[in-house]
Chains A and B, each alone.
Chain A
Amino acid sequence: MTSAGPSAETNAAIDRAYRDAYGSVLATLIRFLGGDFDAAEEALADAFATALETWPRDGIPTTPAAWLTTAARNRAVDRIRRDKRQAEKLLLLEREAADTEVAAMRLGTEGGLADDRLRLIFTCCHPALALDARVALTLRTLGGLTTPEIARAFLVPEATLAQRLVRAKRKIRQAGIPYRVPLGEELPERLDSVLATLYLVFNEGYLASTGDTAVRHELCAEAIRLAALVAELMPDRAEPHGLLALMLLQDSRREARVGRDGSIALLDEQDRALWDRAEIARGVAALDRGLAAAARLSHASVGRYLLQAAIAAEHARTVDGRATDWRAIATLYQALARVDPSPIVELNRAVAVAQAEDPAAGLALLDEVAARGELAGYHLLPAARADLLRRLGRLAEAATEYERALSLCDNDAERRFLRRRLAETRG
């Protein structure tokens, strides 16, 4: 066996530092540079380049994150010093330098610069930025994903994504989006925006209709990591725990979700042995922390993520699908419809009621949803009607609904499922 040479070892250490520390070091640098994302990114890139040169020679520093922070800060100060017009800025920075030094020392010891990362996430997910810009910026800065990686994940040309990032950073600078954690009345609205952004990243990875599986998996993992970070940094808020729980519980079913032929397996058809029990346990623990936090909050209303997580947990804790407590699930959907009224929630509630009572009761609710017309064009409505009609033995009507669902659906895996069902109905 050949042992890995010193350069392989340092390369691995640099990769690890990039993965683990990119977001938190960048967050600190952005604060140090008065909210200048571009200067911070440049300085950090410089620091990584320096690490590639010096670590093989001088050895890997004990706390790579602290080393990178100091190196990047020095490079940023050098650059500013060279630019005489920025003399004023330099004064300001030198005043803060001592403070950053202290902060850098804390990195890697007690999870140190948590505040900086929290600031960064609130800035990247500011509602004054378009949702696609929030997603790109969050993944690039906090996730440390590269521009080509993000472009691949969202199936947009690299140039488009790069432009999106430039515009977002420009808006932050030009419009004066602050680099801080919002307080008081502002917090719930802003936290919603953060959680919505993270959930979008997750869903893009989880529900994606097309694209590279590995990249998609990366998106889910990144969303989970960031949700865990927010939950850890704001332990008293209920919804971050709820979102984390929801993501973990959905992700635990990943392996069982797509059948051997590549079609989507519905919950009642999934091989539950493929569910990731360890991930379920983490999800349920997050749910419990969220419910405890909700109970402690004065205006204790349980939010949409906690409710959805509670629904996912009902499924996850049932090893035999036939034992599912559909009554509990229907009740949770009813509560969800109050907190977050939407035709999709009504559709899901109808499906739960069909299971808890009988298909006819579910069909009646579905017809109410259909009558409102908001879901015209959404393939899951005819798909759900088709399923209930099939179970009621109304096969000709079911076939018509499967055909309608097929005409509206562009996800290959789901189309395979619908075609299979259509064939069974006709068979």
Chain B
Amino acid sequence: MRYMLLIYGEETQQDDASDDAPEISPPWLEYTSWLLREGIHSAGERLATSSSATTIRVRDGNRLVTDGPFAETKEVLGGYYIIDCEDLDKALEAAARCPAAFGGSVEVRPIIGMPAPETVRAANTAG
């Protein structure tokens, strides 16, 4: 079976700042290394803080773009795509075509580039 671990936590202003110069802190490095050693790691990324999120909905053929991650209270996370686009406009264009945008909502959140798993693996083997 494949499972997704959804990571929740409180955000602080330090989190905002660390988005600009991302570093893997020791507990996360350790955890990622452990997943790799166990051979159960298939993918993982760090998201930028919610203040850089944009939510898009399509209603009556009109796109509604809002600042922030705000889903309606009855909306729950149902899946994800990772896309690679030139800028937010392109990403929003792609998000607006997603079936979930009609009736539900799609949150567009940047992924913070982190050292590739290979680097982590190398660091781990070296240590």
In the assembled complex, which residues on chain B have CB atoms less than 8 Å from the CB atom of A174?
A: 19-20, 48, 51-52, 110
A175 to B110, Cβ gap below 8 A?
Answer: yes
Within 8 A of A (CB), among B14-66: 16, 19-20, 48, 51-54, 63, 65-66
A131's nearest neighbour on chain B, judged by CB, is B67
> With A and B bound together, what is the CA distance between A404 and B82 in angstroms?
54
> With A and B bound together, what is the CA distance between A171 and B51 in angstroms?
7
Within 8 A of A (CB), among B82-124: 85-89, 91-93, 108, 110
> With A and B bound together, what is the CA distance between A5 and B48 in angstroms?
54
Interface range for A = 10 to 19
Smallest CB separation, A258 vs chain B (Å): 35
With known contacts A128-B54, A171-B51, A176–B19 Cβ distance under 8 A: no
In the assembled complex, which residues on chain A have CB atoms less than 8 Å from the CB atom of B51?
A: 167, 170-171, 174
A171 to B89, Cβ gap below 8 A?
Answer: no
Smallest CB separation, A167 vs chain B (Å): 6
> With A and B bound together, what is the CA distance between A7 and B80 in angstroms?
62
> With A and B bound together, what is the CA distance between A174 and B87 in angstroms?
10
In the assembled complex, which residues on chain A have CB atoms less than 8 Å from the CB atom of B52?
A: 170-171, 174-175
In the assembled complex, which residues on chain B have CB atoms less than 8 Å from the CB atom of A171?
A: 51-52, 67
In the assembled complex, which residues on chain B have CB atoms less than 8 Å from the CB atom of A129?
A: 67
In the assembled complex, which residues on chain A have CB atoms less than 8 Å from the CB atom of B63?
A: 189
A178 on the B face (CB < 8 A): yes
> With A and B bound together, what is the CA distance between A128 and B88 in angstroms?
9
Query: How does the 8 Å CB contact mask read for A162-204 relative to B, with 1 for contact and 0 for none?
Result: 0000010011011111100010001001000000000000000
Among A129, A170, A174, A177, find the residue whose CB has the most chain B CB atoms closer than 10 A.
A174
B16's nearest neighbour on chain A, judged by CB, is A170
A176 to B87, Cβ gap below 8 A?
Answer: yes
A343 on the B face (CB < 8 A): no
A259 on the B face (CB < 8 A): no
A303 on the B face (CB < 8 A): no
> With A and B bound together, what is the CA distance between A189 and B93 in angstroms?
12
In the assembled complex, which residues on chain A have CB atoms less than 8 Å from the CB atom of B85?
A: 176
In the assembled complex, which residues on chain B have CB atoms less than 8 Å from the CB atom of A128?
A: 54, 65-67, 88, 92
> With A and B bound together, what is the CA distance between A170 and B93 in angstroms?
22
In the assembled complex, which residues on chain A have CB atoms less than 8 Å from the CB atom of B20?
A: 173-174
> With A and B bound together, what is the CA distance between A177 and B67 in angstroms?
12
Smallest CB separation, A252 vs chain B (Å): 34
Within the complex, which residue of B16, B68, B88 is in contact with A177, where a contact is CB–CB below 8 Å?
B88
Query: How does the 8 Å CB contact mask read for A256-290 relative to B, with 1 for contact and 0 for none?
Result: 00000000000000000000000000000000000
Within the complex, which residue of B65, B66, B67, B89 is in contact with A182, where a contact is CB–CB below 8 Å?
B89
14 A-B contact pairs sorted by A residue (CB < 8 Å) = A126-B88, A128-B54, A128-B66, A128-B88, A130-B68, A171-B51, A175-B48, A175-B52, A175-B54, A175-B110, A176-B85, A176-B91, A177-B89, A178-B88
6 closest residue pairs by CB, A with B: A174-B52, A178-B87, A127-B65, A128-B54, A130-B67, A175-B52
Kindly list 15 other residue pairs between chains A and B, CB separation below 8 angstroms, not including A171-B52, A174-B110. Answer: A128-B65, A128-B67, A130-B67, A130-B68, A174-B19, A174-B20, A174-B48, A174-B51, A175-B48, A175-B88, A175-B108, A176-B87, A177-B87, A177-B88, A186-B89
**B residues neighboring A (CB under 8 Å):** 16, 19-20, 48, 51-54, 63, 65-68, 85-89, 91-93, 108, 110
